[in-house]
Amino acid sequence: MNALTFSAFGDASVLIYQVVPDPVLKPGQVLVSMKAIGLNFADIYRRKGNYHLTGQPPYMAGYEGAGVVVDANNVPAVRVGDRVGFADVPLANAELVAVPADRLIPLPDVVSFETAAAVLLQGLTAHYLVTDSHPVQPGEVLLVHAAAGGVGQLLVQMGKRKGATVLGLSTSVAKLPIIEQAGADAAFVLSPGWTEAVRRWPAPIDVVYDSVGATLSDSLAVVRDGGRVVFYGMSGGNPAPVDPRYLMDTSKTLTGGDLWSYLTSKHERVRRSAQLFDWLQSGAIRLAEPTRFALADGAAAHRFLESGQSAGKVLLIPSYPSTTYPALSARYRPTGPRYP
């Protein structure tokens, strides 16, 4: 099979598209012919060597995607031809992926492969943030950092769906219209003095969703006494230490968030994904149009994601037809409906 690999850490130039051995299935795994693969910043961190990798080179990134089962490997309730997705399976930057059966997410007919690869990781992240880290209530005022990003746009939409007022932040003035188009009540630039601009909003901030990290102190300062900050990422660098006495004196809550604390079983994966798909089908949430690159052009896709130009998901599309499973590949090309 063909795969996007790297044997040294560095910039996107270390990525090599090459032939590698097909996966060898273990008991409980099935083989999926990939139709769309989600590219995430975690893949960039792996390429750079920021995340620990096991095994020997060539390494392969990728954790999210969608495709068709081409070998069910005698796993009960799984059939060849099943349309499936996943959000947490390694070595996904390839034409074929060995997927543990308990991580398979069945795809409804109305959800295309590209939609699944675009929504699962970011959508499930936004879902747990508004349902578990802080169950959003009608009438609350939410502040979302990086609101023009994939998770940020979904947080805005899910917050509005739950009846909250949602304010969005971005480092780029050019991206403020994206936040407003997602449904935010107001959008602010993350520039010096942004906390004062937010404080001028007519109602106090109940909850801040902070994925930047370096802004954590400001997020705690801007949320009302008795409010909550949900910290779930460090795209802007590590946060400064927080004095617990400050939390006590202001009755503020700081909580962390990690998707893998909630995707603990097949039941949870299927249940949460089904709600995402229902919201998509009903129009309660929408996805920005993804940017597509051939898997062979993975280096260009990495550069594009790192440039900060993307407003929607970046997808890697394997070549068609597959030389290994040509009949299935032709039958299950990702031509289903896409959500705008």
Query: Do residues 8 and 59 lie in contact, with contact meaning Cβ atoms separated by under 8 Å?
Result: no
User: pLDDT tier at 332 (50, 70, 90 boundaries)?
Assistant: very low
Judgement on whether residues 207 and 249 belong to the same structural domain of the protein: yes
Q: In angstroms, rounded to a whole number, what is the distance separating the alpha carbons of residues 7 and 324? A: 25
216 within some domain: yes
Q: Are 182 and 232 within one domain? A: yes
Assign 299 to helix, strand or coil: helix
Domains of the chain: total: 2
Q: Is the dihedral of CA 282, 284, 289, 294 positive or negative?
A: negative
Kindly state whether residue 108 falls inside one of the protein's structural domains.
Answer: yes
Q: Looking at the predicted structure, is the pLDDT value of residue 328 above 80?
A: no
- Is residue 49 over pLDDT 60? yes
**Cα–Cα distance between 16 and 249 in angstroms, integer?**
54
**339 found inside a domain:** no
Beta-bridge partner residues of 232: none
Residue pLDDT, tens place only, 182-239:
999 999 999 988 999 999 999 999 999 999 989 999 999 999 999 999 999 888 888 9
pLDDT at 143: 98
Buried b (16+ CB within 10 A) or exposed e, 37-70: bbbbeebbebbbeeeeeeeeeebbbbbbbbbbbb
- The arithmetic mean of pLDDT across residues 251-265, rounded, is 93
The domain boundary residue, chosen from 234, 260, 286: 260
Do 24 and 49 lie in one domain? The reply is yes
188 and 268: one domain? no
Tell me: do 177 and 138 sit in the same domain. yes
**For 263-287, what is each residue's pLDDT tens digit?**
999 999 999 999 999 999 999 999 9
pLDDT of residue 237: 84
CA nearest to 170, candidates 186, 193, 146: 146
Omega cis (within 30) before 58? yes
State which residues form the domain around 174: 132-260
Torsion of CA 262, 263, 265, 270, to 10 degrees: 120
The CATH code of the domain that includes 319 is 3.90.180.10
Q: Assess whether 246 and 194 both reside in one domain.
A: yes
For residue 55, give the amino acid letter: G
Could you say which of 227, 260, 293 is where a domain stops? Answer: 260
Judge if 225 and 193 occupy the same domain: yes
Can you tell me whether residue 289 is helix, strand or coil? Answer: coil
Does pLDDT of 326 surpass 80?
no
Instruction: Classify residue 238 as left (phi > 0), alpha (psi -120 to 50) or beta.
Output: beta
* 17 burial type by CB count under 10 A (0-12 exposed, 13-18 middle, 19+ buried): middle
Q: Average pLDDT for residues 68-93, to the nearest whole number?
A: 96
Distance, first Cα to last Cα, the chain: 32
Residues 161 and 203 in one domain: yes
Q: What is the pLDDT of residue 306?
A: 87
Q: Are residues 225 and 271 in the same domain?
A: no
- Grouping H, G, I as helix, E, B as strand and the rest as coil, residue 125 is helix
Say whether both 253 and 149 belong to one domain.
yes
CATH number at residue 240: 3.40.50.720
**How many Cα atoms sit within 13 Å of 83 on the Cβ side?**
19
Q: Is residue 106 in some structural domain?
A: yes
Q: How far apart are CA 325 and CA 178, in angstroms?
A: 40
Q: Which residue has the higher pLDDT, 311 or 183?
A: 183
**Which has the higher per-residue pLDDT, 327 or 39?**
39
Q: Distance between CA atoms of 152 and 280, rounded to whole angstroms?
A: 16
From residue 138, alpha-carbon distances to 215, 287, 304 in Å are 26, 23, 37
**H helix intervals, 162-222:** 176-181, 194-199, 216-222
Q: Which of 102-111, 118-127, 247-256, 315-324 has the lowest mean pLDDT?
A: 315-324
CA angle at 68 for the pair 333 and 72, rounded to the nearest 5°: 155
- Range name among 47-56, 143-152, 205-214 with the lowest pLDDT average: 47-56
